[in-house]
Structure 1
Amino acid sequence: MLLLRSVGFREEPGQYLRPAVSAPDADELVNQGLDPPAPTGQARRAGAPASRRQPMVKQERAARTRRALIRAAAEVFAEEGYVSASLAAISKRAGVSNGALHFHFDNKKALAQAVEEEAVRVVRRITGEPPGGDTCALQQVVDSTHHLMRRIADDAIVRAGFELCADPASRAGCSLRWEWWRWIEDVLQRAQREGGLAEDISVENVAALIVAVTVGFEVLGVSDREWLSERRVTGFWTLMLPRLAERRTLARVSPGPARPSSTTLLRGREQAAG
């Protein structure tokens, strides 16, 4: 009897000895979208009624866990590649158990799809920003190109989203580059209607060139972030604009970003502090 107790069995009056099972951790249950143990006594009486408080907490925690898993997956995919990335590494990076991961995502393919979908939403926010003031369509393309390269450099989700498109093993939807290409074509067509493009310019060919260059920057930027820098993007547009823009439009379009980059802002703060 003493031996059985020493290895984790407990004795209850009138019953055989049975294994002692610890109660599930409440945080782990919520991460998986399950109900935590019902509060009792003073905890039940404090604050909002448990019937209203528990579903709200459960949904918020489950949503945070899902977001953490998507970001962790993006970071691991970007660092190790889709094939080498393991679900154990992703769950560890997110700070959750493998059980919580599998509650939200069936497999690694589902995680890759979620990363790309989130990256598509980020790119849509970039391209959906309304142009300021009298910004012409061509300047909008220039500005969005700078913004996208900064996000690829700074945001693992966008970076991984583009990289997954190039990895046949992930079998993701690969709509990210298509979204970018379609938006470039649409805005260039608007620039052409505004009279902002040179007369002999083919919107289809120019859109293909811009997409090829930006995807090239993204691929080269995996090993050398200089390819994603403001200097590189500005250099491309400095060469491109004189051939692309109508003469009067050229005088209004800047090859540099319309808004200062985060690096420029940080440098300015450091200079001011020094």
Structure 2
Amino acid sequence: MVKQERAVRTRNALIESAAVLFDRDGFEVASLSTISAREGVSSGALHFHFCNKAALADAVGREAALRLEVITGREAGGALQVLIDATHALVRALDHDAVLRAGFGLSDGAGLRVMWQQWVEDVLRRAEGEGALARGRSVGDAVTAVVAVTAGLETLGRQDPQWLSQTPLTRFWAQLLPRLAAASCLESLVASGTCTPSAPAAAVVSAPH
């Protein structure tokens, strides 16, 4: 049992180490020797868990997908607020979670992006069924806007962490919601998200006069 627990800890540590270096240096530059040395693990121990760098990258991608599932799994409340909260949770995670950043940045990160896009579409379809979308609003257009903005913040945040702060995404929602949401539910929506330490009054969206 002790050996099994140690093996799990070693494997998880190697995934974290690989994610940090893939994110910082890129997949091509990061080497297995650097990854193992970063965690104080021998090359033999690394190869016991992962036969090559591609296998390690695949493990990083699977772990990133699990973390994205946690973010998209918090679905209490109306669909539009669930979506707002999930986008904030994703951006916050991208600010500190190297595994999630690496998962989106790897060459097969398209799979993670498709997973995110499909979830966004599913939630917006649910919002449409709840009558939470303004009449005539296109779910497809809303999906494009949300996915494009979150992908853009991910990319910009690699150069300037300020893009991964609460403010840019809150401003996006404050601009989009009066056009997207039905008037009957607009004032109950919080553009800054409901899972943050505080939601400033300006972040509560009001219908345009």
What is the deviation of 1:130? 3.2
**Which residue identity lines up with residue 249 of structure 1 in the other structure?**
C
State the match for 2:130 in structure 1: 194
Q: Any stretches of 5+ residues in structure 2 without a counterpart? A: 199-209
Question: 2:81 matched to 1:139?
Answer: yes
Of 62, 73, 84, which residue of structure 2 is paired with 1:128? 73
What is the deviation of 1:260? 2.1
State the match for 1:119 in structure 2: 64
Q: Any stretches of 5+ residues in structure 1 without a counterpart? A: 1-55, 265-274
Q: Which has the higher contact order (CA 8 A, sep 6+)?
A: 2
CA distance in 1, matches of 2:73, 2:8: 25
What is the deviation of 1:173? 6.3
What is the deviation of 1:84? 0.9
RMSD over aligned CA atoms reads: 1.2
CA distance in 1, matches of 2:136, 2:113: 26
Residue by residue over 1:25-64, the C-alpha shift from the partner in whole angstroms, topping out at 9 and shown as x without a partner, is xxxxxxxxxxxxxxxxxxxxxxxxxxxxxxx122111111
Tell me if structure 2 keeps the 8 A contact 1:91–1:98: yes
Residue by residue over 1:105-161, the C-alpha shift from the partner in whole angstroms, topping out at 9 and shown as x without a partner, is 111111111111101000101111131xxx311011000000000001011111111
Taking structure 1 as the reference length, the TM-score comes to 0.70
CA distance in 1, matches of 2:122, 2:185: 18
CA distance in 1, matches of 2:155, 2:81: 24
What is the deviation of 1:95? 1.8
Question: 2:150 matched to 1:214?
Answer: yes
What is the deviation of 1:183? 0.6
Question: 2:147 matched to 1:205?
Answer: no
Taking structure 2 as the reference length, the TM-score comes to 0.91
Question: 2:119 matched to 1:183?
Answer: yes
Larger Rg: 1
Tell me if structure 2 keeps the 8 A contact 1:116–1:174: no
**Which residue identity lines up with residue 11 of structure 2 in the other structure?**
R
State the match for 1:26 in structure 2: none
Q: Which has the higher helix share?
A: 2
Tell me if structure 2 keeps the 8 A contact 1:138–1:191: yes
CA distance in 2, matches of 1:146, 1:116: 21
Give the total of aligned pairs: 198
State the match for 2:100 in structure 1: 158
**Which residue identity lines up with residue 176 of structure 2 in the other structure?**
M
